[in-house]
Amino acid sequence: MFSVESCVIIGAKDGPTEYPLGCVQMAGSLPEKNLSLVEMNELIKNGNVKRQQRAISTVTVGERHAWSYESSSTVESLRSGRSPYMESFRQGATLVPRPFWFVRAVSHPRLGADPNAPFVESTEHSLRMAKRPWRRSELNGQVESLFIFATLMGGDILPFGHLPFRTVVLPVLASKEYSVIPSQELGQLGFSHMRVWMAKAEAEWGRGRGPKAEKMSLLRRLDYQKGLTGQDPKARLLVMYNTSGRKNLSACVIEVPRKMVVRSNGNEFVATGFVAESSTYFAPVKSMAEGAYLTAFLNSSSTFEILRRIKAVRHVHKKVWELPLPRFNPRQADHAALASVGEDARQDAKGAILRAAGNYEPASVLSTGQTGKIRRVVKATIADHLHAADDLVKRILT
């Protein structure tokens, strides 16, 4: 189903293991699933599936182990242990079903645009990417601007920068922390527009989920594992990277101003804040220098190569923190140098993104090919910085 490696292991429990192990490697494209042994042998005979004898060992990084065709048993000479940043990063909120939350501003058919209670509708992208029960769950209506937030998806993150923010509507109030507000309470607090929006969303949730809706309410799904309420609305600097991507790991620093202006469909209004979404991992940082240090590490091809060797590039999540990156110390020469490289790359990437993506708004109108083109332009612009980061990351990890 997916183009990932899989295997069958045959062995005796509790017996001795001596490396390297013998294995049979098979690779090719199958015409259909669940083929018989006779059909499989015919594909091998015809050369459609390649079969060869190989030797495998294991590679180890932190507490993660993976099979490898390389002869070494560990990734050479890395420091022992995992990074202390393992505990700092967490996954963003699961903002699903997407048509309920991802919106674009439109002019009200009779009243025009109201910055205090804009008229919004589900984005085409959110409907297209939704699971089948909600692909026709298009919502529209006014919402109080207090419930408008900015976010980014994993595909919006570029090396040392990002595409324009996406606009989301969430039944959340922010003070010292985020609080998810039930529909009835929204009405009692006088937020009549958001109450109506949530009534529509909850009706669609019940229709799409059927009997399962009783087991998990829409608000519980929205704040699954405290994905929303566990975020800090006071954080002004965040480091963020994409959860998965077979050919790239991209990271950037998110600057969250106290007055956050978002633009949608030619309209401009102030968002209440920034919320991280589940296709990203994020952590607050104390300074721009620490953010530059972390993003230089995350964007480095040295880091990505180690992840590739431990089979962790398709779904990175927190596996990158199995690598022994120390906590940032500005008095340590290599740390300061990596932070300087990261800051220079951030400044150059900002200009490249403005030139390459300045005409696109919002990010949801971009095709995968267009985003890939922008990514290549950014990488070409900061190539020298990436090379410098690679050398520094190798020194810091060893």
Q: What is the pLDDT of residues 208-259, one digit of tens each?
A: 998 887 889 999 999 999 999 999 999 999 999 999 876 779 999 999 998 8
- Taking alpha carbons only, the member of 49, 56, 44 closest to residue 11 is 56
Q: How big is the CA angle at 25 (ends 20 and 29), to the nearest 5 degrees?
A: 160
- Single-letter residue type at 175: S
Beta strands in 181-266 (DSSP E): 237-242, 251-255, 260-264
- Walk along the chain (398 residues) and give the pLDDT tens digit of each residue: 456 678 888 888 887 888 888 999 999 988 988 899 999 999 999 999 999 999 988 888 877 788 888 765 556 578 888 999 999 999 999 999 999 999 998 876 676 678 889 999 999 999 999 999 999 999 999 999 999 999 999 999 999 999 989 999 999 999 889 999 999 999 999 999 999 999 999 999 999 998 887 889 999 999 999 999 999 999 999 999 999 876 779 999 999 998 888 877 777 888 999 999 999 999 999 999 999 999 999 999 999 988 888 878 778 999 999 999 999 999 999 999 999 999 999 999 999 998 887 656 555 567 777 888 899 999 999 999 999 999 999 999 98
Q: How far apart are CA 75 and CA 394, in angstroms?
A: 12
The predicted structure's pLDDT at residue 151: 95
Q: How big is the CA angle at 169 (ends 167 and 172), to the nearest 5 degrees?
A: 130
The predicted structure's pLDDT at residue 69: 82
Provide the 8-state DSSP code for 124. Answer: H
- Single-letter residue type at 127: L
CA 363 from chain center: how many Å? 15
Provide the 8-state DSSP code for 368. Answer: H
Q: How far apart are CA 254 and CA 61, in angstroms?
A: 29
Question: What are the Cα distances from residue 144, in Å, to 23, 141, 261?
Answer: 61, 10, 15
- Taking alpha carbons only, the member of 92, 224, 237, 220 closest to residue 168 is 92
Which residues, in sequence order, are bridge partners of residue 349? none
Cβ 295 vs Cβ 281: under 8 Å: no
Tokens of 185: 């309470």
Q: Residue 77: left if φ>0, alpha if ψ -120 to 50, beta else—which one?
A: left
The predicted structure's pLDDT at residue 362: 54
Q: Does residue 362 have a cis peptide bond before it, meaning omega lies within 30 degrees of 0? A: yes
Question: What are the Cα distances from residue 360, in Å, to 47, 129, 137, 356?
Answer: 46, 20, 26, 9
Tokens of 207: 């229709």
Average pLDDT of the chain? 90
Tokens of 384: 């020298």
The predicted structure's pLDDT at residue 81: 86
- Taking alpha carbons only, the member of 128, 125, 65 closest to residue 264 is 125
**Which uninterrupted H or E stretch holds 46?**
helix 37-46
Question: What are the Cα distances from residue 232, in Å, to 44, 229, 270, 273, 283?
Answer: 56, 8, 18, 10, 10
Q: What is the edge-to-edge ordering of all strands in the sheet holding 64-68?
A: 21-28, 49-61, 64-68
Q: What is 311-359 written as a DSSP string? A: T-SSB-TTGGGGS-PPPP-TTSHHHHHHHHHHHHHHHHHHHHHHHHHTT
Percent of the chain with pLDDT over 70: 94
The predicted structure's pLDDT at residue 1: 46
